[in-house]
Amino acid sequence: QVQLVQSGAEVKKPGASVKVSCKASGYTFTDYYMHWVRQAPGQGFEWMGWVIPNSGGTNYAQKFQGRVTMTRDTSISTAYMELSRLRSDDTAVYYCARGDVYYGLDVWGQGTTVTVSS
Amino acid sequence: EIVLTQSPGTLSLSPGERAILSCRASQSVNSIYLAWFQQKPGQAPRLLIYGASSRATGIPDRFSGSGSGTDFTLTISRLEPEDFAVYYCQQYGSSPITFGQGTRLEIK
């Protein structure tokens, strides 16, 4: 079955970086965009951007430009999201989600909790 | 950026009742790119509706979506106990992708 499995929870200090992975299975990894979305505690969703697994092309939300890097390794069907210069308000659950042109974000990972605290 | 505003913030209903959730956009959304999600505590979102009115795979037919332009609706015809959750609308036709703030559907 189609599945996205993310890496485990992280605790980071302010100013540090975090890299979250998302391993895809059950479909052709290069056929779909991979999006990243976050959800702060008790809040709604915030779209961060996408990476095109085929080409490596990216599109980042303006809010995160300069701090986020989305990459992929097609040999292991895995996408990555790295966020730098972490602040306390980056504490959130980070999700990867498969993007389909018609269905939108149709398959989601289980989420990775990132806690930023001194 | 397209801002999506959902109403009501909280909806209190009983099992068997009908739920009507609203999503209003700050500018016109191509209905091909309007989706609804359900999220339960501690879980990832689950796609219910895409293209404003098409049910995702495995979604029961008590869930239906409608609307166009700036006004969209999710209707749950007869609430089951497992339907009590938070619902979000989302537009994915314009960058940045945006979400509504959610409607909490709670048991009355």
Residue B30's pLDDT band, with cuts at 50, 70 and 90, is confident
Above 90 in pLDDT, residue B31?
no
Among B10, B92, B94, B98, which would you mutate to test the A interface (most chain A Cβ atoms within 10 Å of its Cβ)? Answer: B92
Question: CA-CA distances (angstroms) from residue A36 to A49, A56, A107, A108, B5?
Answer: 6, 14, 12, 9, 22
Count of CB pairs separated by less than 8 Å, A with B = 52
Query: Are B56 and A106 a contacting pair at CB < 8 A?
Result: yes
Edge-to-edge strand list for the sheet holding B63-76: B4-7, B19-29, B63-76
Residues of chain B with Cβ-Cβ distance to A46 below 8 Å are: 99
CB-based contact B88 A104, cutoff 8 Å: no
B92 lies within 8 A of chain A by CB: yes
The answer to whether the CB atoms of A44 and B97 lie below 8 A apart is no
CA dihedral B1, B7, B9, B13 (to 10 degrees): -150
pLDDT in tens, B75-97: 999 999 999 999 999 999 999 99
Which chain A residue's Cα is nearest to B87?
A44
Confidence label for A101 from pLDDT (cuts 50, 70 and 90): confident
Q: B67's torsion region: left (phi>0), alpha (psi -120 to 50) or beta?
A: left
- pLDDT band at residue A88 using 50, 70 and 90 as cut-offs: very high
